[in-house]
């Protein structure tokens, strides 16, 4: 019973977080919220500045004609890319506001899609409903991540593809920013706060006190989560030069590219059923 109560509370905090602070909205303050210009600016930042590797790595143009589900569609940035690439898209999110924004964004782009409020741990779809299930930066916020992965497996068709991003335990961001800088030097550990509690306070942009659940995973842990899949590929990416701080001028582009794939913040799991 205690587990269920805490799970419900964590999901309420997650809903509060992204109702008040839609993911990515902090990067755009110039244009009217919900306008074409607003979303264009969000996309430019996401795919040109923050994660220029994402378009190719996530395969936005790789699934024409496929039925694709995104779990945790947020403001619909990635789902719009898949739709432009020819996929038949369905988006779910725990947060009603996210569904409203994504539906509006598809309408602005004259794209078709289906959207509903739903929980990643209990998907409202029959077995073998989708060719592709995609989730970027969402399942590390849900209490039962393993249960959510089992649901992905269930709703995928045979030979279907799951593409999921989880936060990386062996990343520079986790060890330097969370453990060393905040946990040790800022005294958070001495105050009795765990690394998970620190991440809940600082990892996601917030202008309020929702403090959503945040977890990190090692490659081994991610592989165990997807053990029921026939083929699993795990890659690492997402590192900004600013994270290197004073060492940045000393790091060549070739070395930086290698570091991204070793100590980046994102684990990208591609699994085939």
Q: What is the pLDDT of residues 6-50, one digit of tens each?
A: 477 776 666 666 566 666 555 546 778 778 999 999 999 999 999
Measured in degrees and rounded to the nearest 5, phi and psi for residue 206 equal: -150, 140
Q: How far is CA 122 from CA 53, 147, 150, in A?
A: 31, 8, 10
Supply the pLDDT for residue 53: 96
Q: How many residues does the chain have?
A: 273
87-121 confidence digits (pLDDT tens): 999 999 999 999 999 999 999 999 999 999 999 99
DSSP letter (8 states) at residue 32: P
The CATH number that applies at residue 76 is 3.40.50.150
pLDDT of residue 10: 74
Measured CA to CA, the distance from residue 201 to residue 193 in angstroms comes to 11
C-alpha separations of 254 from 16, 49, 63, 173, 268 in Å: 41, 18, 31, 20, 21
User: For residue 60, which of 39, 42, 87 has the smallest C-alpha distance?
Assistant: 87
Residue recorded with tokens 């592989």: 223
Q: Cα angle at 269 between 54 and 60, to 5 degrees?
A: 35
Mean pLDDT value across residues 268-272: 98
The 10s digit of each residue's pLDDT in 212-264 is: 899 999 999 999 999 999 999 999 999 999 999 999 999 999 999 999 999 99
**Of residues 97, 75, 70, the one with CA closest to residue 23:** 75
Task: Enumerate the β-bridge partners of residue 119.
Answer: 122
d(CA 19, CA 99): 10
DSSP H stretches of helix in the chain: 2-20, 36-44, 54-58, 77-84, 96-108, 145-155, 172, 195-202, 219-225, 253-263
**Can you give the pLDDT at residue 1?**
28
- Is the torsion defined by CA of 219, 43, 50, 101 positive or negative? negative
pTM for the whole structure: 0.91
* Secondary structure class of 68 (helix, strand, coil): strand
Rounded to an integer, the average pLDDT of 168-179 is 97
Domain ranges, residue 82: 2-272
Number of domains in the chain: 1
Q: And the tokens for 21?
A: 């602070």
pLDDT above 60 (res 2): no
């Amino acid at each position: 019973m205690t587990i269920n109560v805490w799970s419900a509370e964590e999901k309420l905090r997650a809903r509060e977080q992204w109702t008040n602070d839609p993911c990515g909205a902090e990067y755009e303050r110039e244009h009217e919220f919900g306008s074409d210009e607003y979303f264009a600016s969000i996309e430019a930042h996401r795919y040109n500045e923050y994660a220029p590797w994402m378009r190719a790595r996530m395969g936005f143009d790789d699934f024409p004609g496929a039925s694709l589900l995104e779990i945790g569609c947020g403001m619909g940035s990635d789902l719009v890319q898949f739709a432009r690439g020819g996929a038949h898209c369905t988006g779910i999110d725990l947060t009603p506001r996210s569904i409203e924004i994504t539906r509006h964004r598809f309408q602005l782009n004259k794209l078709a899609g289906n959207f509903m409020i739903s929980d990643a741990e209990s998907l409202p779809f029959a077995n073998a409903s989708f060719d592709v299930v995609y989730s970027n930066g969402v399942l590390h916020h849900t209490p039962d991540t393993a249960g959510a992965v089992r649901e992905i497996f269930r709703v995928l068709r045979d030979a279907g593809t799951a593409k999921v991003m989880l936060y990386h335990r062996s990343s520079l961001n986790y060890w330097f920013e969370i453990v060393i800088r905040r946990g040790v030097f800022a005294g958070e550990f001495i105050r009795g706060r765990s690394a998970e509690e620190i991440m809940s306070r600082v990892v996601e942009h917030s202008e309020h006190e929702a403090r959503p659940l945040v977890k990190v995973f090692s490659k081994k842990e991610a592989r165990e989560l997807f053990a029921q899949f026939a083929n699993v590929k795990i890659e690492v990416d997402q590192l900004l030069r600013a994270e290197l701080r004073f060492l940045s001028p000393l790091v060549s582009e070739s070395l930086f590219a290698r570091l991204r794939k070793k100590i980046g913040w994102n684990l990208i799991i591609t699994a085939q059923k």
